[in-house]
Structure 1
Amino acid sequence: MPSTHAPMPLARDSGEPLADQIVRTVAASIEERVLRPGVRMPSIRRFAATHGVSPFTVVAGYDRLVAQGYLDSRRGAGFFVRERPQPARHEAVPSRGNADALDVAWLIRSLFRQAPLQLSPGAGVLPADWLDGAAVANALRELSRQNSAALLAYGTPHGFLPLRQQLQLKLAEREIAAGPEQIVTTVGVTQALDLVAREFCRPGDTVLVDDPAWFLMFGSFAALGLNVVGVRRLADGPDMEQLAELAALHRPSLFVINSVLQNPTSTSISAAKAYQLLRLAEQFDFTVVEDDIYADLHPGGAARLAALDGLKRVIYLSGFSKSMAPNLRVGFIAASGERAERLADRKMLSTLSTSDIGERVVYKILSEGLYRKHLDRVRGRLDAARPRALRQLEALGLRPDPAPGAGLFVWVDAGVDTNLLAARALRDDLLLAPGSLFSPKQLASTHMRLNVAALQDAGTIRLLERALGG
């Protein structure tokens, strides 16, 4: 095989480490096809002599180039340029101009295509600049200085104990009594719902959900062979008359509900309806799964089913992806001792344990009081942003249904099929979340969910107006 010995420029006064320069220049030569697949690289000793650097610097650079897929290391033969895969061509978003192609997978694919999120009033998270990235970075730095052995082993099935002890205190503030042994950490609420459904349902069982509700669980439950039935959501909670009728008809295993700051309507259940719901759960023998993922965005004083029930018929879920950092993926389940043990076993059988690196980061932020201050800032910004956003939306002919008093979302009636509206908006890379996605049956809807925090940019409002105008 041919060999190359062409020198590559390394600048000692640039401030860029020499190993980084080796990686950058060799990678660029390979990307530009100056160095072609199969070419043998200079030996470590020859490269070092040619460029006046130490062999250790060359080893560091070559090792990184191997790790990044630019070189192959062949024992006894040296380093060779590796065949690079052609970059994948990005497929067009299937929904552009085709309202029938909008579905849950479409929204999730579109969200991640736009990462980092820009012009995404359909997104379900706070903008990155609203989050406390410094607190997360500082916690990671502190973690890196601890005993590395603790970071290399498996976590425990229940989760990082100091975090669970901290969560016990946090739950007590919501009047939910749960010891650390009653708490199981998860990879976000998504895994929590999956564990609960797998443990307490069987194929063919019915699961009741809010209608509208968080779309991801519809497909997840259907994949488990469960029958998903929606219960109409009103301004103060579920339609109790319809819930009673559906419970009598289907004898459900579970009812999954956002009691506080429901997604997508930002409504919260009243105390009266909370008591009614628990009576129906006892009457028809179903378990209530209280998904409280947006809890920390509420100013306080909301009714919690888990507090009223004492975790007898209620399984409580929450986490930090919406308020601290989506990428941490730290959630948790609080349940009776017997149910928590079963869920920990179920988690162990599916993933052994969760990575407690993220859990240690969350613990540090919670235990040092940083999170409480962060939440005060976020709630203040939302309260300031919400009235302005509502005025702008009403000026565009979008009617809040109902007008939210807290939280991240506003559920609006556009008066037109929002599948068509979302398809038009996506031509300008504006991501909307049409109401059909939040329907258990994915029925056409004139409603859509908008993110208050993402409506502060004047350009976003202009593009929304353009989409509404056709």
Structure 2
Amino acid sequence: MSVPLDLIPAPHGASSLTLVEQLVQWARRRIEERVFRPGMRMPSIRKLAEDKGVSRFTVVEAYERLVAQGFLDSRRGSGFYVRERAGAAAEHPARRASGPAGMPAAIDVTWLLRNTLHTGSPEKGPGLGYLPARWLDGELVAGALRTLGRQSGAQWLGCGTAQGFLPLRQQLQTRLQEFEIGVAPEQLVLVSGITQAIDLIARLYVQPGDTVIVGDPAWFQMFGRFAAQGARLVGMPYTPAGPDIDALETLVKTWRPRMLVINSVLQNPTGTSLSPAQAFRILRLAEEYDFIVVEDDIYGDLCPPSYPVTRLASLDQLKRVIYLGSFSKTLTANLRVGFVACSPALAQAIADQKVLIGMTTPELNERVLYKVLTEGHYRRHIERLRSRLDGVRDQCARMLEAVGFTLFSMPAAGMFLWVDTGVDADALAAYGQEAGFLLAPGSLFSPQQSPTTWMRFNVANCGDPALPGFLARYLDTHRAARPLKTPAAAPI
């Protein structure tokens, strides 16, 4: 198996690096990201020299250094191959072991998360889950920090509280009342984002063998957390109108789940939202079959007030629903402040679990968010974000359709489009990475990580002028291949 050469970008790095060092850095990064996987044949010396515009001696020297560093093996008469290194991460059993001929093996969740953290240009990151930094308002955060910096330093010397900074919880109480969710400050626990919230809930509620129903597709980072807890994950299919409630009812009757986790507003990745009828049926099933509903509303602020949505917590009033929120998508991911809203007894249990695992969350971050929310500029910032998304959503959709992709639906709000590429999305993502584009294949959004032709696009990060041409060229080359069919949802 060889690495494809036609889409490998020229090496880039600091100007102080020699050409040999740049080539070594380029190869090591791709090996560490598992784009070049153990056993794969590296490009031949001649081909790589031609592609990079360097001498064969430069390539030989780079390969020899990689052999010395333990990244490659040299096989006389055959070439250089990626070495299996001790301590490499074991494959998840749900991941594919290999890809199409000439392609790297399957891309996994860790690959996408690692690339997300060092993708320099948002325009090159259609698969990113965040808005580009230039869309956000750093001055909101900087202003809050300056205000706090002028206050007495004594307030920073404590440990904080288990449930989080009280004034912020009181402010969140006011915000949730706007969504018709009645909550007291003691029913709120501040956490380090939705990821920590899911972790705490899983530790409290999920035992080995319990069934957890998740979307198929859905936010992939929670899959591993529930699987690590020993849960059986069952996928609930989606339609262009939202979750397939008939299918959910069948799954509930068959598996008797402990929990359902769902985005009620602007679901990731389909962009769909719950209708009142769907919400009522979900709550009726939860009551009849005695399971908990975890409602993740991280994208709720991107939804304009006029957009018709239904939040489960507003109907249930936190009796059976655990409501999650965060400001990572609209303010900054670096602040890491989210919250859990639930019954008073559960809030206390979550706070106790939080202290056992990592003590309190940083009160500095919570105070910064409190300042941002109470100084009156956050609402205008949100309105600007919605307007900018509205300005690029249709344009992005038209571009993807012109390339030859098919939209799952056309959301009227939010940042994501769920698209059928008609080709193996994992293979497309691997080629995209080599061309400098970070793409999010649909296999990552399935609890089984099944091969699929679907892919998620962030409309705010599709502005690179080279993206349509890259996608069109790839599709023209590979459209003759028989499209993959995504298997029906099954538990893992």
What TM-score does the superposition give when structure 1 sets the normalisation length? 0.79
Instruction: Count residues with an aligned counterpart.
Output: 387
Q: Does 1:339 align with 2:346?
A: yes
1:240-319 equivalences in 2 (<5 Å): 240-300=245-305, 301-319=308-326
1:140-289 equivalences in 2 (<5 Å): 140-289=145-294
Q: For residues 310-352 of structure 1, give each alpha carbon's deviation from its aligned partner in whole angstroms, at most 9, with x where no partner exists.
A: 1001000010001110111110000011111111111111111
The letter of the residue matching 1:441 is Q
- Contact 1:430 1:463 survives alignment (8 Å): no
Instruction: Measure the CA separation in 1 of the matches of 2:466 and 2:365.
Output: 35
SS where residue 442 of structure 1 aligns? Answer: coil
Q: For residues 357-400 of structure 1, give each alpha carbon's deviation from its aligned partner in whole angstroms, at most 9, with x where no partner exists.
A: 11111111111111100000000010111111111111101111
Instruction: Measure the CA separation in 1 of the matches of 2:171 and 2:266.
Output: 23
Instruction: Measure the CA separation in 2 of the matches of 1:456 and 1:111.
Output: 17
Instruction: Measure the CA separation in 2 of the matches of 1:419 and 1:89.
Output: 21
SS where residue 312 of structure 1 aligns? Answer: coil
The letter of the residue matching 1:250 is W
Corresponding position of 2:93: none
SS where residue 90 of structure 1 aligns? Answer: helix
1:17-32 equivalences in 2 (<5 Å): none
Deviates more, 1:106-115 or 1:153-162: 106-115
The letter of the residue matching 1:165 is Q
- Contact 1:425 1:467 survives alignment (8 Å): no
Corresponding position of 1:376: 383
Corresponding position of 2:130: 125
- Contact 2:212 2:234 survives alignment (8 Å): yes
Runs of at least 5 residues in structure 1 that lack an aligned partner in the other structure: 1-30, 33-85
* Shift in CA distance, 118/390, structure 1 to aligned 2, threshold 3 Å: closer
Q: Extract structure 1 runs of 4+ deviating beyond 4 A.
A: 115-118
Shift of 1:113: 3.0
Corresponding position of 1:406: 413
Shift of 1:116: 6.1
Q: For residues 199-223 of structure 1, give each alpha carbon's deviation from its aligned partner in whole angstroms, at most 9, with x where no partner exists.
A: 1111211110011000011111111
Q: Does 1:354 align with 2:361?
A: yes
Corresponding position of 2:34: 94
Instruction: Measure the CA separation in 2 of the matches of 1:380 and 1:118.
Output: 18
Shift of 1:262: 0.2
The letter of the residue matching 2:388 is R
The letter of the residue matching 1:231 is M
Instruction: Measure the CA separation in 2 of the matches of 1:387 and 1:99.
Output: 33
Instruction: Measure the CA separation in 2 of the matches of 1:249 and 1:419.
Output: 31
Shift of 1:91: 4.6
Q: Does 1:453 align with 2:460?
A: yes
- Contact 1:208 1:230 survives alignment (8 Å): yes
Deviates more, 1:406-415 or 1:114-123: 114-123
Q: For residues 166-192 of structure 1, give each alpha carbon's deviation from its aligned partner in whole angstroms, at most 9, with x where no partner exists.
A: 100110111111111100000000000
Instruction: Measure the CA separation in 1 of the matches of 2:246 and 2:123.
Output: 41
Corresponding position of 2:337: 330
- Contact 2:302 2:413 survives alignment (8 Å): yes
- Contact 2:442 2:454 survives alignment (8 Å): yes
Cα RMSD over matched residues? 1.9
Deviates more, 1:172-181 or 1:98-107: 98-107
Q: For residues 257-287 of structure 1, give each alpha carbon's deviation from its aligned partner in whole angstroms, at most 9, with x where no partner exists.
A: 0010000011001110100000000011000
The letter of the residue matching 2:178 is E
Instruction: Measure the CA separation in 1 of the matches of 2:469 and 2:156.
Output: 48
* Shift in CA distance, 420/90, structure 1 to aligned 2, threshold 3 Å: closer
Shift of 1:152: 2.5
SS where residue 382 of structure 1 aligns? Answer: helix
Instruction: Measure the CA separation in 2 of the matches of 1:180 and 1:375.
Output: 24
Shift of 1:90: 3.2
Shift of 1:160: 0.6
Instruction: Measure the CA separation in 2 of the matches of 1:402 and 1:106.
Output: 27
The letter of the residue matching 2:273 is S
* Shift in CA distance, 275/446, structure 1 to aligned 2, threshold 3 Å: same
* Shift in CA distance, 145/468, structure 1 to aligned 2, threshold 3 Å: farther
Instruction: Measure the CA separation in 2 of the matches of 1:287 and 1:193.
Output: 13
- Contact 1:235 1:268 survives alignment (8 Å): no
Shift of 1:235: 2.5
Instruction: Measure the CA separation in 1 of the matches of 2:348 and 2:474.
Output: 50
The letter of the residue matching 1:392 is M
Q: For residues 119-162 of structure 1, give each alpha carbon's deviation from its aligned partner in whole angstroms, at most 9, with x where no partner exists.
A: 00000000000001111111111111111121232111100111
- Contact 1:218 1:228 survives alignment (8 Å): yes
Deviates more, 1:385-394 or 1:254-263: 385-394
Corresponding position of 2:41: none
Q: For residues 5-32 of structure 1, give each alpha carbon's deviation from its aligned partner in whole angstroms, at most 9, with x where no partner exists.
A: xxxxxxxxxxxxxxxxxxxxxxxxxx99
- Contact 2:202 2:225 survives alignment (8 Å): no
The letter of the residue matching 2:374 is S
Instruction: Measure the CA separation in 1 of the matches of 2:197 and 2:348.
Output: 14
The letter of the residue matching 2:236 is V
Instruction: Measure the CA separation in 2 of the matches of 1:390 and 1:169.
Output: 36
